[in-house]
């Protein structure tokens, strides 16, 4: 993966941001952070590998620019997860908080997103502890959460448009687009669906596979 700046400068950027906003001890945490940055970049490269968006690729190569907010959101999410794997929980908390402060996205490090997801202007989004399938796409002001401690399940190729809410004992089938401002609670959505409205009065429109092939392949992913 090509990077807009050197890896050491990405590490310095994170260190400066942590030091400016929170407590950060470079002497005690610097070696761990540098190692975590390298591992997080590898995970970021996998995430970007099938992304169709022009900003995620340069001269045919996967490309990471830490000054692109969406890309940096993904990187900080992975960085917090890698640091958590090292059991440096305080540092993981600060990186999670940094992501929230800079990018206005709530992606806690215990949330397990799939290897392949795409976020599209995700300001104000909160993703809870759901089960997420590959080729998951989300936009701004999304909420995914629990109802009575039960979280949703998303099969592959699900897109949540602006303001969508999915909570509780919901299963969202493969090839589903949840339209803007829709509210889904404790519902099972069949595959190949475009969903409108509010539970329990949802409108579900069935579409052919080709419709979703065009949507996910043309807009988001090279191979989905």
- The residue count for the chain: 224
Pairing of strands 57-58, 61-64: antiparallel
In a domain, 109, yes or no: no
pLDDT of amino acid 201: 97
Query: At 125, which CATH number?
Result: 2.160.10.10
Give the mean model confidence (pLDDT) for residues 8-33.
97
Residue 224 lies in a domain: no
Residue 223 has a pLDDT of 76
Is a pLDDT exceeding 90 seen at residue 218?
no
Same domain for 171 and 99: no
Same domain, 157 and 98: no
The predicted structure's pLDDT at residue 224: 63
Are residue 44 and residue 99 in the same domain, yes or no? yes
Number of folded domains in the chain? 2
Count Cβ neighbours within 10 Å for each residue of 4-36 and write b for 16 or more, e otherwise.
eeeeeebbeebbebbeeeeebeeeebeeebbeb
* Same domain assignment for residues 93 and 126: no
The two structure tokens encoding residue 151: 């979280």
Domain-embedded: residue 112: no
Q: Are residues 99 and 122 in the same domain?
A: no
Same domain, 146 and 124: yes
86 and 133 in a single domain? The answer is no
pLDDT band with cut points at 50, 70 and 90 for residue 215: very high
Same domain, 167 and 97: no
The predicted-structure confidence for 53-106, as pLDDT tens digits, reads as follows 999 999 989 999 999 999 999 999 999 999 999 999 999 999 999 999 999 999
Range of the domain at 66: 2-104
Q: In this structure, are 53 and 92 located in the same domain?
A: yes
pLDDT digit string, tens, across residues 111-143: 999 999 999 999 999 999 999 999 999 999 999
Look at residues 104, 137, 161 and tell me which one is the last residue of a structural domain: 104
pLDDT digits (tens, 9 = 90+) for 170-203: 999 999 999 999 999 999 999 999 999 999 999 9
């Amino acid at each position: 993966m090509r990077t807009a700046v050197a890896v050491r400068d990405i590490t310095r950027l994170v260190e400066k941001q942590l030091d400016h906003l929170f407590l950060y001890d470079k002497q005690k945490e610097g070696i761990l952070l540098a190692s975590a940055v390298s591992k997080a970049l590898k995970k970021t490269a996998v995430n970007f590998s099938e992304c169709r968006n022009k900003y995620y690729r340069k001269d045919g190569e996967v490309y990471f620019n830490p000054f692109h907010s969406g890309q940096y959101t993904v990187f900080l999410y992975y960085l917090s997860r890698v640091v958590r794997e090292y059991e440096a929980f305080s540092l993981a908390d600060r990186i999670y908080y940094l992501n929230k402060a800079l990018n206005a996205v709530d992606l806690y490090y215990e949330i397990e997103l799939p290897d392949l997801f795409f976020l599209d202007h995700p300001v104000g989004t909160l993703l809870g502890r759901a089960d997420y399938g590959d080729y998951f796409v989300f936009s701004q002001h999304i909420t995914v959460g629990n109802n009575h401690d039960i979280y949703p399940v998303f099969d592959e190729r699900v897109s949540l448009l602006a303001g969508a809410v999915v909570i509780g004992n919901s299963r969202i089938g493969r090839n589903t687009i949840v339209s803007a401002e829709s509210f889904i609670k404790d519902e099972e959505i069949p595959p190949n669906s475009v969903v409108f409205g509010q539970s329990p009065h949802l409108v579900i429109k069935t579409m052919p596979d080709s419709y979703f092939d065009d949507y996910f392949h043309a807009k988001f992913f090279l191979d989905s």
